[in-house]
Amino acid sequence: MRIRAAIARAREPFELAEVELDEPRVGEVAVAVEACGICSTDLSAKDHDFGTPLPAVLGHEGVGRITAVGEGVRGLEVGQRVVMSFGACGRCPNCREGAPGYCERGADYNLLGRRLDGTSPIRRGGEAITGHFFGQSSFATHAVAAATNVVPVADDLPAVHLCPLACGVQTGAGAMLHVLEVGPVDAVGVFGCGTVGLAAVMAAKIAGCASIVAVDRRPERLELARALGATHAIDGAELDGAALVRALRELGGLTRAFDNTGSTAVIEAAFAGLRPRGVLALAGVSPRRARITLDANRLMLSGRSVRGTVEGDAHPRSFIPQMIDWYTRGLLPVERLVTTYPFEQINQAAADMAAGRVIKPVLRMT
C-alpha cells in the first residue's frame, strides 16, 4: 500500500513523502499509526552517524491499530490498539530469559532498521530504504512491526500519552526499578532530566525512595523534577565535576545513581558520589570513543559497581501494562512531559526537542 512517511537524511530536514509499504510477513503486524513520540535516538540516527543506513524512516514510539496480522502471530488481532516497543527476535537465549533488550539480533532490528533477513518493508520509487527501525519505523501513517514487543492497550487511553511508554519512559522507570531495584532505604541520583531522567524520578517516587536528587543544567527541568517527586535539585550548569561531587556528598552521598546524559564527566562525578556498595547504571549514549576513568582501588575497596542498561532491562509485554496502571492511577503523570505536534510539523518538533524547548514531542498522525 502507499503511505506517507518522514524520510530522514543526515543533517537535512525530514522530508514527508509517499512510499510503498509491504504486507506483514511471518511474525509481523501492520499498524495504522495514530501517534509517535520523537526520541533522542531518532535524532542521533539521523544526524550523528549512529550506524543506521540512510535514507530511512525512523520512529520507535508508535501507537496505533492493527490492520493486518502475519503468519505465526499469536495474541494479536486485527482491530486491536497497540503500543509498538523496540524490536527483538523473541527466540535467542536473552529473549527467552525475558531480556529482549539484549536480543542477539537487536542491532539488526533497532540500529540497522532491517528484518533478520536483511530486507525492509518500505520502498520509495521501487527502491528499498531503511524501514524497520526498532522493528517498526513509525514516523509514518502506517507501519509494519515485529510482533514480539507489540503490546495491546485499551481504546480509551490517549495515544499521545502512551507513546513515551514504548521507549523513553520505559527506559527511565525500568532502570530505576529493574536495574537499580530502588526502595525506601535508598538515596538515588538522577543525572539528566529529559524524558528518561524524569521517568526515573517518577519511578523512584513510586518506590518510596528516601531521597531523590535530580541533576540537570536547565532550571525549568529541575523545577519539574521537584514537582514529579525529586527531594533535591542540583543545577549542574554552575558546577564542575569536583563541585558536583562535593554537592552530592553534602547531601550524604547516593546509594543508587542513574546517568542518562552520556557525559563522561557527569558519569565520573556520579560514581564518586556513591556511598560504599553503591550502584551506578548508565543509559545515556556517549560520543564515539568516549572513555571513563575510575579509580580501580576505590572501586574494589568501596564495593561500588557500574553497569549499563538497554531499555531499562524491561520486558514490554509485562512492563507497559504496569506503567499504564500507574498512569491511570495518577502515579506516572506522563502527560506532564508531552508536547504534541501534527505530523506535518515533524521538523519543528525535532528542532524544539534538540534545543531543549520541549521534553517529549509527540507527533499526531490522525
pLDDT digits 0-9 by tens, 272-294: 999 999 999 999 988 888 899 98
Regarding whether 63 and 136 lie in a shared domain, the answer is yes
Give domain status of residue 206, yes or no: yes
Cα–Cα distance, 215 to 296 (Å, whole number): 25
Instruction: Check if the beta carbon of residue 56 is closer than 8 Å to that of residue 133.
Output: yes
Cα–Cα distance, 307 to 22 (Å, whole number): 39
Give domain status of residue 123, yes or no: yes
Cα–Cα distance, 62 to 30 (Å, whole number): 12
pTM of the model: 0.96
Regarding whether 213 and 120 lie in a shared domain, the answer is no
pLDDT band at 295 (very low <50, low <70, confident <90, very high): confident
The three three-digit cell numbers of residue 295, written as one number: 579509580
Residue 319 Rama label (left phi>0; alpha psi -120 to 50; beta): alpha
Give domain status of residue 315, yes or no: no
Sequence-distant (≥ 6) Cβ neighbours of residue 231 within 8 angstroms: 211, 212, 213
Helices 219-228/195-206 angle, 10° precision: 30
Q: Measured between alpha carbons, how far apart are the two ends of the chain, in Å? A: 18
Beta bridge partners of 363: 36, 341
Regarding whether 221 and 137 lie in a shared domain, the answer is no
Instruction: Check if the beta carbon of residue 273 is closer than 8 Å to that of residue 248.
Output: yes
Domain that includes residue 203, residue range:
170-310
Regarding whether 280 and 338 lie in a shared domain, the answer is no
CATH number of the domain at 188, please: 3.40.50.720
Instruction: Check if the beta carbon of residue 187 is closer than 8 Å to that of residue 252.
Output: yes
Q: Is the pLDDT of residue 34 over 80?
A: yes
If one counts the domains in the chain, the total is: 2
Average of pLDDT values for 34-42? 96
- Please count the CA atoms within 13 angstroms of the CA of 292 that sit on its side-chain side: 22
Give alpha helix (H) positions in the chain. 40-47, 93-96, 106, 159-162, 168-174, 195-206, 219-228, 241-250, 264-272, 296-302, 316-328, 346-354
List pLDDT tens digits, range 196-239.
999 999 999 999 999 999 999 999 999 999 999 999 999 998 88
Cα–Cα distance, 80 to 45 (Å, whole number): 30
Give domain status of residue 328, yes or no: no
User: Which is it for strands 360-364 and 338-342: parallel, antiparallel or unpaired?
Assistant: parallel
Give domain status of residue 321, yes or no: no
Cα–Cα distance, 354 to 347 (Å, whole number): 10
Q: Is the pLDDT of residue 356 over 80?
A: yes
Average of pLDDT values for 182-195? 98
Average of pLDDT values for 110-116? 92
